[in-house]
Each structure stands twice: as structure tokens, then as C-alpha cells.
Chain A
């Protein structure tokens, strides 16, 4: 009994397996993707080099003096100490107002009211709010927060609390969306297991879902914070001082209800001044802002890796 082996002309298999030539569409597509990446990287790199190039000489010439000096019309003396305090307080107020409110809202939407018609409508609207231009939030801050402080006769109402609240409302949708997504990513099996042993909704949320969603929520919070610290437009409307001013940084009350400014505002202000020296100061201010943002983002990555779980 013999099984007939199909005879193939010598080398035919080899030839049929061999590549016939370059596959142009994939090559072109790959090239386009690589070009996009290169373009993005180059743009960022150019920005960074430009800023460092102009700003670093300020630090080499004046050192820490730039960080500790107040605003001044003399470019050799002007510094960002008031702006640093303003940015610090805006960060603190955002953290105190936006994060608890945002995370609590997300928990309610995802864990308590999930799937209802109202939840879906609210969800869509929050997503839209996240896309509203920040200047619009500035108008809100001017009308509501500055208005309230003015009505209460606290200074002229243009204080860092009003500014911080404005920015807090601005980042609230981002906090809610990222926290809701982190909660949604927690497997339903974890919740069922909790309910299955007689845990209440609060116990399941507090002890199982929140710890599991924590890294994701944290990432969203820190990214929102970076965004909050970099905003200029809404603060201009919400009463941040554009020119230079004395005072500020004196005592806690003075800082909170007196005139204020913030890093992005000062950077913006300096770039509009005619003297070249102020452009350099603006670049130095950007470096400070970038360093703060990098630290915040680095912290986010560190904490996320530290607490992240897998299942």
C-alpha cells in the first residue's frame, strides 16, 4: 500500500512562501504614524528648548531670588513669590472643594444611581461641561464667587478663594469623569462577592470598590490639579491682579482675602510687556510652572504604581 506523495516542482513551495515585494500601503501607513509621533515630539522639544534657553539665565543670574521676590516694575528685581502663593492656594482650594465633591458625585452616579435615565442625562451633560471653554467658567466665577465675597463686603471680592473656587468648578467635570471611569473599571464580580456575604451598599463601596478604583481616581485627581494650576483665563476674570502690587504674603488672612495673582497670570502679564528682560522672566516663570506640573504628574504615576492592583 503506498500513499501517493503529491509532487511539487522543486523550489515551488519556497518561491510561494517568499515575499513578492514591499507591501506599500502598510509601509505608507506606518510612515504616516511615525511622522505624527515625530511632529508631536519635535513641537514639544522646540517649546522646551526655547523656554529653557530664555529662562535658565534668569536662574543662573539670580538664583532663588527669583522665587522669593515680589512683583516689580524693575525686571532685575521682579519675582514670583506672590504668584507662587496664589498658585499654592488655588491648588489647595481645588483639592479641598473639587476632589471630595467630584469623587462623591462619581460614586453616586456609578454606585447608587447607575443605569437610571436621569444618570444618563447628567452623565452626558458633565461630559459636555468638561469641554466648555475655561473663560466661561471665569464669567461664572466673577458673577457668583466674586459677587458673593463682594456682597459680604470682604475686600473687593477679588480674592484667591474666589479664584480657587472658580478653578475648582472648572476641573470638577474632569474629576467626575475620571473617577467614574475608574469606578466602572472595577469588576462587577467584586461587588457581587461583597453583596453575597451580606455587605450593604456603603460597605461594598467603601471597602471593596473604592480601594480597587483608588489608583485610577488618584490619577484623575492629579491630572486635574495640573490643569487647575495652569489655568490663566478664568482667573483673569475672577479677579487675579494683572499688574504688580505690593502686599500679599504678609499673613494668612491677607493672602486669602487680599489681592492675589498666580503663576500663569504673571507669565501672561510679563509676555505682554515691551522690555525683553520681562520675556526672559516669563520663560523663567514657565519653567517654575512646568516643574510644579512635572512633580504633580510624577507623584500621580508613583502613587498609581504603588497602589495599583490586578485581578
Chain B
């Protein structure tokens, strides 16, 4: 399996019957979905439905939570991310992450972006890597004259783009975004969305969002999750975004995307 070259049709991430637990509590139940390469897939659903948990299981960020574990298979190019001998640090290098609240390091803008390549032992001209990453995150023109200044001094929207540049700098294949715009104003939100559309040429993006319009505007595919009676999140419906929003198969989906609950 692993020796097969990935084709464009091969989903970059394929979830097979994935259940996620915190101790004995099941947070996500039996999700299966193939995430398409170079597409933006949105995870939507009401609060507590496990969409962030699902997102964070894809780069094994949940390993940091004591008692968290996964069942089922999370395949990356056909390789099980939770298989024996798989190093979570290597996984996170290939599957980057942007968080809900912009969280630049208390370091300079330059060092923020260079941190990932440095810890991963990347050789080569760091200044080039930093510039290319900042350009791709549409932040270069804003910060090129103040690379030595603290990343914390930027505005919220700029900080989030700095975090995107930081994620890009390690050359991941996939970027996970956990409600990246929830702390931003509408203008900054729009900038991030435009940026996502550019980034998907190079990267695969999976984004958790509370904002239905954002999912409709910016994503190619949408996965809708909701909470069951046992408080475990499960997948109700998933597919091409325009289909799911205009012609949902499930009543639950229709109620949610039209704003009747959640």
C-alpha cells in the first residue's frame, strides 16, 4: 500500500470508522470520510459536536491531552497515522495547524516563521524561507521592514497570517485550521479566506468553522457533524459544499445550515 505513488484521485486523508475518546468518554463516533487533495474541506456543526477533536486527531495534537485515544483508521496517503512506530512529531511536520486564537511565539516575526524549519533541522537560507512563507501568507508587504519586531505587536489579523506563515514554513502538505477567524474582525476574516483560496493550490486545507457563510463561501467540500444522545459527535452528511447547502439530504443538515439550530 505505502509503495503506491499517490495519484490525484487518492484522498490525502481517509478516515475509516474513526472514533475518538477522552478517557472513557467517546467524543466522536464512527466517522468515515475521504479528504480530497488540494481542496478546502470545512467541518461544521453545533458546539460540542467534536469537530475540533476530529481536526486535532488528524495531526495527533490530541496526543497531548492525557487519556485521549483514537479507534478506527486515519490514513495519510494510505499510511495509518496511529500505526505502530509512527512519530507524532513527524506527522505534525507534514500536517500543520493554525489555531483558533492567534498564538505567535513571544519572539520576533522572523524567528516565529523560522522556528519550524529550525527545529526540523532544515538547512538552507533561512531568510529565503521566511520571505517565501510570509509572501504566501500575504503578510510580507506588511512586515518586511520590521522582521526583528515581536510577533505579538501585530494586529489580530496579521498575527493569524503570521501563524499561517509559520505553518507554511515547514512545507506541510496539509494545513488544519481550527476556527481561524473566530477572534478576527470581518475584514481580517475576508483576507484569511482569500488567502485560503490561494493556498489550496499548494496545500490541502481542512477547516473547522462556526460560521456557516464562511463554509459556504470558502470551502469545496463540507462535513456536517452533530451530537448524538450520548453526547458523541457523529457525521450526518458530507459532500460538495454547494450541494450540501442547497440540497441537503438530511433534515438535520437543512435545519443547521439554514440557522434553525446550533
Contacts and interface: CB of A to CB of B under 8 A. Distances in A.
Interface of A: 114-116, 187, 189-200, 203, 207-208, 211-212, 309-311
Interface stretch (B29-37, B58-66, B141-149): B58-66
Interface of A is mostly: helix
Interface residues of B, number: 28
Contacts of A189: 99, 101, 103
Interface in B118-172: 119-120, 152, 163, 166-167, 169-170
A151 B148 CA distance: 58
A182 to B, nearest CB: 14
A194 B116 CA distance: 8
Given A187-B103, A195-B64, 20 more contacts: A114-B66, A116-B66, A189-B101, A192-B61, A192-B64, A193-B103, A193-B163, A193-B166, A196-B61, A197-B93, A197-B116, A197-B119, A198-B116, A198-B119, A199-B115, A199-B116, A199-B119, A200-B119, A203-B119, A208-B105
15 contacts: A115-B66, A187-B103, A189-B103, A191-B64, A192-B61, A192-B64, A194-B115, A194-B119, A195-B92, A198-B90, A198-B116, A198-B119, A198-B120, A208-B105, A310-B152
A122 to B, nearest CB: 16
Contacts, number: 73
B180 interface: no
B186 interface: no
A70 B209 CA distance: 75
A197 B99 contact: no
Given A196-B61, A198-B89, A207 B163 contact: no
Interface of B: 59, 61, 64, 66, 89-90, 92-94, 96-99, 101, 103-106, 115-116, 119-120, 152, 163, 166-167, 169-170
Nearest to A114: B66
A199 B61 CA distance: 12
B166 to A, nearest CB: 6
Nearest to B116: A197
B106 A309 contact: yes
Contacts of A191: 64
A264 to B, nearest CB: 40
Contacts of B99: 189, 192-193, 196
Contacts of A197: 92-93, 96, 115-116, 119-120, 166-167, 169-170
A197 B169 CA distance: 9
5 closest A-B pairs by CB: A198-B93, A197-B116, A189-B103, A196-B97, A115-B66
Given A189-B103, A309-B106, A196 B115 contact: no
B61 A207 contact: no
Contacts of B97: 192, 196
Contacts of B106: 190, 211-212, 309, 311
Contacts of A207: 115, 119
Contacts of B105: 190, 193-194, 208
Contacts of B98: 196
B115 A311 contact: no
A116 B67 CA distance: 10
Q: Which of A116, A196, A199, A208 has the most CB of B within 10 A?
A: A196
